[in-house]
Structure 1
Amino acid sequence: MFNKLLKFIVLIGLICGFLFINNQAVFAQERVFLDLSLEYLDSYELTTQDFENTRVGGFSGITYDKQKDLFYVISDDRSRLAPARFYTLKMSLANNKIAQVNIEGVTLLKDRGGEVYAQDTIDPEAIALSPRNSVFISSEGISHLGVAPFINEYDLEGNLLSEVPIPKRYIYDGEEGKGVQDNYGFESLTIKANGTMPQDPFRLFTATELALSQDFNDDMPETLLRSRMMHYVVNPFGQPVLISENLYPVNKADFGVIFNGLSDIYALPEEGYLLALERNLGLRGFGAKIFQIVMANATDIYAENSLAGNIDNINPVKKKLVLNLKDLNIDLDNLEGITFGPRLADGSQSLILVSDNNFTPTREKTQFLLFKLSKT
């Protein structure tokens, strides 16, 4: 009888210990992430229009100039309808609503020779304002035409200032089967500035929308979701330095989803934390999810020539779902850009999303969504 009682006590102890350890693991996992929440406030549709001889649309990236209370949005026009460009917008908020969005200006981008970009020599997708009063803009390239992706810095008049060095593995080479795939390049770009002076170093993050050619295995469809994220430090002198490259795992598509990819990222004030916007298209239209991502303890994959095989030895960036926009039960469009906006009336932080209408106003629209970001 005593032996049975002893075994029972030991068994209960083991079970309790197991539950304690697993609860501790859960708590530790929760502590990795910030306690964030997003409250949907409003939606606004920009009317279809032309501005200074350009077709307004294709808004695939957005950034906010806090000092001037202005937004800069990049158009993904490949210099087909008008030269490659970004627009300056003024957004008026009132009573937690978007009262008005006005176009204040358009800026044409210039290449190395000081000329506007020729047709199909650029595919601009993301934009980020830097602390030195310039914008960094990413182009995902046009692989089938041999147009390489790039990340360039421009002044606010559109003049080229500098170029971020891109590793050769991102440059498309059909014979070697490497580089960004068509439309799967640098859709995202964000800047994290810690300094107080314009000349202080800052961080730049970018990621591919989906896997590079060499990271995709036809026999393993899930490998298409293995995006690469790059982390640079931009100094006042010399070229930006790539300090790490990490695996970003795009979420598996929900039932009925045809396409799912990483469309933008945004660096939070807290070090090592970002938001990620994943946009999808399915049988029921567009959808989007916003994730919190954490860079800590992610494996540096700079030396990994391919991610098309077993990656059990790689720690990806950690992700946590903040909001599935489908749960809002509102009409969603092709959301591609994310940024903080001005403070709301109660002092809380606003978050703005913008959609790319693909220059098809009868089917898609230019949509702005307003959210309130809360931290506890």
Structure 2
Amino acid sequence: MQLCKFLQNESFMKKIMGRGVLLSTLLFFSFMGYAEEWQVVRENAQKSFHKTVPAGNYSGITHLHDDIYAVVSDKSDSALYFNFRIQVNPATGDLEQVENLGYTFMVDGSRFDGKPWHGTEKGFDHEAIAKVSDSTVVIASEGKCRLKEYLIKDYPAKLYLKGWENVWPPEDFYPNYNFESLAFDSIRHLLWTIPESTLRKDGVPATPENGLANKLRLMAYSWSHGLQDSIGFGMAMYAYQMDAPSTRRKAETYVMGVSELCVLPDGQLLVLEREAFIPKVKLGAFCKCKLFLVNPSNEKRISALDLLNQDSPFVKKQLLTEWKTSLSLVKRSFANYEGMCLGPKLEDGSQVLILLSDSQNQYAGVLRDCFKTIVIKKK
């Protein structure tokens, strides 16, 4: 069932808004007593593991169990996700080993049987993944404009088609600016997402030429009253404004958007803003990342019918850290970070955040599949 059908039905939207008030109230009380600030303890240097991580287009990550994580690729039309083993130093949170263990399930939900894959559906462009239960994950497909639930246990293949699915009309988005982010709050049963850039009805995407700040819609789907309810009745929506572009130089390729979300144990959100600038000559390219903290319980909810403008109640955001990678004659650190999730807690109780970059299959033999950890804790 498509969200556009809901948005075109005014009476139905009033019901959603009414239920949305209930969800906002639940959000407020579930966050009460937890709205403490977080701080960065340590930001570890990025690393690549070329011996154990083959070239890929890795774009999203979620924790499965122990030191095993699910990683999606935005160029895979066969593997649903890859199993990664990620090991960190228990004292510093620094990465010690990252290994791609291969895949278990195919994009249609069936188990990999070792035979060549001959799927008929193409162009998934999987950008984000979130584990929502012991047996299911939700994956954001930019190519299909959808969020879809998949079983990751050994069930008959036909059952894989019965999961939750939320499809948006492609005309809502600008090209290549669809869903890039997913994060699941297992305590409050909320699935969070946000479009990468401004929706068509809310304006135009930010560029170096226009100098605009992207206006986005931060959304939470309720996951506690059954999957069908979460499609519309249980959605809360907030206005989010990115920082403006940092450069006015002309680029051959320029990407400015939110590339990932992450839910903290207290229900607050980490938002990763990413600005990638690539000139025609490639040298001088950079990727600037900013990590913000957002507390939805303190913010005013908006309606799906509202149009975003300069007077919209944008959520307050706190900058935790920022970093910049680049490409020059003497430095090849460029890394486009698109995936982020919580890792383990360290010996001192601080929390590890794991990030991964999309190397575009190690483009031109220059880029690397980079991984990075940031250690955070409450003040």
For the aligned pair, the TM-score class normalised by the smaller chain equals 0.7 to 0.9
Distance 1:161 1:68 in 2: 28
- Report the equivalent of 1:193: 186
Q: CA deviation at 1:294?
A: 2.1
Larger Rg: 1
Assess, with a 3 A threshold, how the Cα gap between structure 1 residues 77 and 68 changes in structure 2: closer, same or farther: same
Q: CA deviation at 1:118?
A: 3.7
Assess, with a 3 A threshold, how the Cα gap between structure 1 residues 185 and 224 changes in structure 2: closer, same or farther: farther
- Report the equivalent of 1:213: 200
- Report the equivalent of 1:234: 223
Work out which of the residue numbers 141, 146, 150 in structure 2 matches 1:154: 150
Work out which of the residue numbers 274, 278, 296 in structure 2 matches 1:279: 274
- Report the equivalent of 1:106: 103
Q: CA deviation at 1:88?
A: 0.8
Distance 1:218 1:285 in 2: 19
- Report the equivalent of 2:378: 375
1:28-78 Cα deviation digits (max 9, x unpaired): xxx97614224112432031778xxxx75111111112x433111111115
Indicate whether 1:89 and 2:84 are aligned.
Answer: yes
Distance 1:32 1:346 in 2: 21
1:239-262 Cα deviation digits (max 9, x unpaired): 124421222212111135743210
Asked whether the 8 Å contact 1:109–1:116 carries over to 2, the reply is no
Unaligned runs of 5+ in 2: 1-33, 112-116, 278-283
- Report the equivalent of 2:166: 165
- Report the equivalent of 2:300: 298
Indicate whether 1:57 and 2:44 are aligned.
Answer: no
Distance 2:66 2:52 in 1: 24
- Report the equivalent of 1:260: 256
Distance 2:263 2:190 in 1: 9
Asked whether the 8 Å contact 1:253–1:259 carries over to 2, the reply is no
Asked whether the 8 Å contact 2:206–2:244 carries over to 1, the reply is no
1:187-240 Cα deviation digits (max 9, x unpaired): 000000116xxxxxx100101000112222499946661122221011363412
Distance 2:79 2:175 in 1: 18
Q: CA deviation at 1:293?
A: 1.4
The letter of the residue matching 1:237 is G
Unaligned runs of 5+ in 1: 1-30, 142-147, 174-178, 196-201
SS of corresponding position for 1:318: coil
- Report the equivalent of 2:10: none
Instruction: Provide the TM-score with structure 2 as the length reference.
Output: 0.73
Assess, with a 3 A threshold, how the Cα gap between structure 1 residues 227 and 218 changes in structure 2: closer, same or farther: closer
The structure where strand makes up a greater share of residues is 1
Name the Cα RMSD after superposition: 3.2
Distance 1:218 1:334 in 2: 19
- Report the equivalent of 2:266: 270
The letter of the residue matching 2:75 is D
Asked whether the 8 Å contact 2:69–2:85 carries over to 1, the reply is yes
Distance 1:219 1:316 in 2: 17
Instruction: Provide the TM-score with structure 1 as the length reference.
Output: 0.74
1:164-209 Cα deviation digits (max 9, x unpaired): 334xxx4123xxxxx12221111000000116xxxxxx10010100
The letter of the residue matching 1:211 is T
The aligned length equals: 313
Distance 2:213 2:108 in 1: 32
Work out which of the residue numbers 317, 320, 323 in structure 2 matches 1:322: 320
Q: CA deviation at 1:346?
A: 3.0
The letter of the residue matching 2:83 is T
Q: CA deviation at 1:149?
A: 0.7
- Report the equivalent of 2:340: 338
Asked whether the 8 Å contact 2:262–2:340 carries over to 1, the reply is yes
SS of corresponding position for 2:216: strand
The letter of the residue matching 2:274 is R
Q: CA deviation at 1:322?
A: 0.7
Assess, with a 3 A threshold, how the Cα gap between structure 1 residues 285 and 217 changes in structure 2: closer, same or farther: closer
The letter of the residue matching 1:209 is E
The letter of the residue matching 2:74 is D
Q: CA deviation at 1:132?
A: 3.4
Work out which of the residue numbers 174, 186, 192 in structure 2 matches 1:181: 174
Assess, with a 3 A threshold, how the Cα gap between structure 1 residues 133 and 212 changes in structure 2: closer, same or farther: same
